[in-house]
Amino acid sequence: MKLTTRILTLGLIVAGGMAFAEGEATDPTVKARQELMKTIGGNTKALGDMAGGKADFDAAKAEAAKAAILAASAEIAAKFETNATDPETEAKPEIWSNWDDFVSKADALKTAAGALDATSLDGVKAGMAGVGGACKACHTAYRM
């Protein structure tokens, strides 16, 4: 058991180092977009972990995660308005050629997050389908 734990830990360290070695965005606009997406992703994960039983339900943490997703989703269009390029971006150029659809998908995330009931575990479970679906729809179309 200890050997398995060591191997997994080493694998995570190596994978993390490789991800870091690949580079980070240097363009400030791209970095700001990536930070915004990390905020959404981290808070979506927190809610998903609660919904999936990987974390205990905590209404205060769920509400904070919902609020963070709502606030960040309201900034998506503004953060992506400028078509900045960077070798480390995962944003497809189709964002800017299909701007109205992109903004519509960002608005769908905001709507789904707003509809999520963070006061109960059942509410979080029910709301995660909308939040996850909104993320998937945009990432499928506009993320490499």
pLDDT at 23 (0 to 100): 65
pLDDT at 24 (0 to 100): 84
34 is in an annotated binding site: no
Tell me, yes or no, whether 132 lies in a domain: yes
Q: Which residues contact 124 (CB under 8 A, 6 or more apart)?
A: 47, 50, 51, 57, 62, 116, 117, 118
138 is in an annotated binding site: yes
pLDDT at 11 (0 to 100): 39
pLDDT at 14 (0 to 100): 37
pLDDT at 53 (0 to 100): 97
Tokens of 25: 């965005």
CA angle 120, 122, 125 (to 5 degrees): 115
Tokens of 101: 């659809």
Tell me, yes or no, whether 52 lies in a domain: yes
Tokens of 141: 């179309």
119 is in an annotated binding site: no
Tell me, yes or no, whether 127 lies in a domain: yes
Tell me, yes or no, whether 93 lies in a domain: yes
When divided into structural domains, the chain yields a total of 1
- Give the 3-state secondary structure of residue 100: helix
CA distance 39 to 84: 20
Domain that holds residue 126: 28-80+88-142
pLDDT at 7 (0 to 100): 34
Tell me if 129 sits within 8 A of 113, measured CB to CB.
no
**Domain of residue 116, CATH code:** 1.20.120.10
Tell me the average confidence (pLDDT) per consecutive run of 10 residues in the chain, 144 residues long: 36 38 79 96 98 98 98 97 89 96 98 98 98 97 95
Tell me, yes or no, whether 98 lies in a domain: yes
